[in-house]
Amino acid sequence: MMTPELTNFLQGPQLVLVTTLDAESTWPTNNLITWVYAKDETTLRLCADAKGRVMNNIRADGRVLLTVMTGGACHTIEGEAKVVKEEIEGVSLKLACAEVAVRAVRDVTFWGGKITAEPQYDVTYDKALKAKLDTGVFAAMKSL
């Protein structure tokens, strides 16, 4: 179960590293996304390209690991994902939404270490378009 702090942190766009098992090679593969929403302390939702690698991998094998840096630590969230919506409405991109049942949360920060700055990112395309997409995607994830 996620802590209330971690659940609260995942209410809007944040950098989250999503590890899935590649549908073809079965090797772990990483993707960095920002569309992750904590519905509650035991359920996450994530959106990504409906035909992209993340969703294809989840369709083939739902085991996922999400890595989040916040609160001075690096957390991994282990869960079982399934695609719950093949295409979300109200956004200009063809995105699917998966729901993750949280199985375990671990602080994986090395002993004696502390994260002193949370990762930040900048948008390299139209910032107004990104804000509009974020608003639409998070509204869709919340309404499922």
Structural domains in the chain, CATH included, are: 4-143 (2.30.110.10)
- What pLDDT is attached to residue 137? 95
Task: Band the pLDDT of 90: cuts 50, 70, 90.
Answer: confident
Distance of CA 97 to the CA centre of its chain: 10
Beta partners for 21?
A: 28
pLDDT tens profile 51-80: 999 999 999 999 999 999 999 999 999 999
Give the separation between CA 68 and CA 33, rounded to whole angstroms.
Answer: 11
> Would the pTM count as exceeding 0.85?
yes
How many Cα neighbours within 13 Å face the side chain of 76? 11
pLDDT tens profile 112-141: 999 999 999 999 999 999 999 999 999 999
The residue count of the chain comes to 144
Edge-to-edge strand list for the sheet holding 63-70: 28-33, 16-21, 63-70, 73-85, 95-107, 43-49, 36-40
